[in-house]
Amino acid sequence: MQALINNLTSEAFWLRLAFMLLFVIVAEIAVPIMMLLVVVQFVYRLFTGKLQADMYRFSSSLAQFIYQTYQFLIYETEDKPFPFNDWPTAKSVPDEEY
């Protein structure tokens, strides 16, 4: 019972809730963008036989951002994702074709 009272009166608890609500909204925007990129990259690959490098790098960093967002939301980390930290670094485009 004391933990409940402490949490209800804790400014940090309510501030984290506000950040969580903000990042839920951001994730709801980022995930459909990622799905659109998946479809576009697939179609591009279908017609050209190769990956579109800039789209691949952005998709890679966006996927890491989404992962960091969910890590924050499930209390795996207290580190807030972008814009409170640097935008994630993209993986390099693979040389081999699939």
Distance between CA 93 and CA 37 in Å, rounded?
15
Q: According to the 3-state scheme, what is the secondary structure of the chain?
A: CHHHHHHHCCHHHHHHHHHHHHHHHHHHHHHHHHHHHHHHHHHHHHHHCCCCHHHHHHHHHHHHHHHHHHHHHCCCCCCCCCCCCCCCCCCCCCCCCC
9-65 residue pLDDT tens: 888 889 999 999 999 999 999 999 999 999 999 999 999 989 999 999 999 999 999
Q: With cut-offs at 50, 70 and 90, classify the pLDDT of residue 97.
A: low
